């Protein structure tokens, strides 16, 4: 079957079986073309709560599917591929965070949405890269323990100088692959290009950027900008999507190594199998965990909306 034929079959099965396909923007372009909604982590969370379909397929990674299930427990939520985890979300141990909370009594724990449902149960507020600064500024508390991304945390700290923000050392292995060396090489190769960087990158990278923001922020900036060339400092699919959407502009990946293999596990033929009920993992979360984890996602939507 050709890509087009697979896409057509997915579209008709989706309709027949009352399935909504949500996709993170790091997913392959041929999947985003047939998705009902494509967005960054924040937009996907907000969308999850209002989807009318009985089944939601999350083409992304596990914490994103968990977020959908937390917000829409009555739905069948399918993670596109059971191997699609997020190393950052899974690198923090609940006991370690409890110890840090003990050592920092009075601090509110703010969790990047890239955390497991289990870890969210002991946190106060969730944030995403596009909502973090707004939410932390809107919180009445001054003392904040931010987990697990030290790079995003450093960025937030600079943007919220009135807050006392403690960080832990975690991060995204994909974004951490980009270095100042890549920035220098890309700028030398494309001297007229603007550099757009995700705050999950190292500070030495985003300090050189013309724009710092989430995946959607980067895409919106590039689309609206009158500039013609851009170096994209986030997962390489964003440069690809932008090239499709803005054929009159030029997009260069900051480094060829900026590939999230977990986001690349899901393939279009697998999405077809999911629509036939033959693939994917149905997400189950026990009700006690779900309700506790939901409190910090609800807070995110309340402060970020
Ligand atoms: P955003 O979608 O919030 O920009 O986050 C990027 C990311 O790494 C998702 O896993
Ligand atoms: Fe996780 Fe980084 Fe991949 Fe996003 S890009 S899913 S944070 S490993």
Q: Which of 230, 234, 232 minimizes the C-alpha distance to 250?
A: 230
182 three-class SS: helix
Instruction: Report how far residue 295's alpha carbon sits from residue 89's, in angstroms, rounded to the nearest whole number.
Output: 18
Q: What is the pLDDT of residue 157?
A: 97
CA 132 to mean position of chain CA atoms:
12
What pLDDT, on the 0 to 100 scale, is given for residue 45? 80
Please tell me the distance between residue 158's alpha carbon and the centre of ligand 2 in angstroms: 23
Residue 66 near ligand 1, beta carbon < 6 Å: no
DSSP 44-79: HHHHHTT--SSEEEEES-HHHHHHHHHH-TTSEEEE
- The first and second tokens of residue 173, run together, are 């292995």
- Indicate the pTM of the whole model: 0.95
Written as tens digits, the pLDDT of the chain (305 aa) is 999 999 999 999 999 999 999 999 999 999 999 999 999 888 888 888 789 999 999 999 999 999 999 999 999 999 999 999 999 999 988 999 999 999 999 999 999 999 999 999 999 999 999 899 999 999 999 999 999 999 999 999 999 999 999 999 899 999 999 999 999 999 999 999 999 999 999 999 999 999 999 999 999 999 999 999 999 999 999 999 999 999 999 999 999 999 999 999 999 999 999 999 999 999 999 999 999 999 999 999 888 75
Residues 6+ apart with CB under 8 A from 271: 10, 21, 31, 34, 57, 59, 80
Structure tokens at 7: 């896409």
Q: Which ligand is nearest to the CA of 172?
A: 2
Report pLDDT for 305.
Answer: 59
Q: Residue 215: CB within 6 Å of ligand 1?
A: yes
Best mutation site among 92, 127, 153, 235 for ligand 2 pocket (most ligand atoms within 8 Å of CB):
235
CA 17 to ligand 1 center in whole angstroms: 29
Please report the pLDDT score of residue 218 as a whole number.
Answer: 97
Q: What is the pLDDT of residue 159?
A: 96
Q: What's the order of all strands across the beta sheet hosting 19-24?
A: 37-39, 19-24, 55-59, 76-79, 281-282
State in Å: Cα 216 to ligand 1 middle.
9
Answer whether 149 contacts ligand 1 (Cβ < 6 A): no
Structure tokens belonging to residue 28: 């392959």
Residue of the nearest CA to atom 2 in ligand 2? 172
């Amino acid at each position: 079957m050709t890509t087009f034929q697979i896409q057509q079959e997915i579209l008709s099965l989706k309709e027949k079986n009352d399935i909504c396909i949500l996709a993170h923007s790091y997913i392959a372009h041929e999947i985003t073309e047939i998705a009902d909604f494509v967005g960054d982590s924040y937009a996907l969370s907000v969308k999850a709560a209002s989807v009318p379909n009985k089944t939601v397929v999350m083409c992304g990674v596990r914490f994103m599917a968990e977020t959908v299930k937390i917000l829409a427990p009555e739905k069948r939520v399918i993670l596109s591929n059971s191997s699609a985890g997020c190393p950052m979300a899974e690198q923090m141990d609940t006991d370690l965070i409890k110890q840090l909370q003990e050592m920092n009594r009075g601090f509110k724990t703010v969790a990047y949405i890239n955390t497991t449902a289990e870890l969210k149960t002991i946190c106060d507020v969730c944030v995403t890269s596009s909502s973090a600064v707004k939410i932390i500024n809107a919180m009445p508390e001054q003392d904040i323990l931010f987990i697990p991304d030290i790079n995003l945390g450093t960025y937030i700290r600079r943007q919220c100088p009135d807050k006392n923000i403690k960080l832990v050392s975690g991060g995204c292995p994909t974004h951490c692959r980009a270095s100042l060396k890549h920035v220098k090489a890309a700028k030398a190769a494309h001297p007229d290009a603007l550099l757009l960087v995700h705050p999950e990158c190292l500070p030495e990278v985003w300090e050189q950027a013309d724009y710092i923001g989430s995946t959607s922020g980067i895409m919106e900036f590039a689309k609206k900008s009158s500039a013609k060339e851009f170096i994209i400092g986030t997962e390489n699919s964003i440069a690809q999507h932008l090239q499709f959407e803005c054929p009159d502009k030029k997009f260069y990946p900051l480094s060829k190594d900026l590939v999230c293999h977990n986001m690349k596990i899901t393939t279009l033929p697998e999405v077809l199998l999911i629509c036939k009920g033959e693939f994917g993992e149905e997400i189950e979360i026990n009700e006690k965990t779900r309700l506790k984890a939901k409190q910090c996602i609800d807070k995110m939507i309340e402060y970020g909306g």
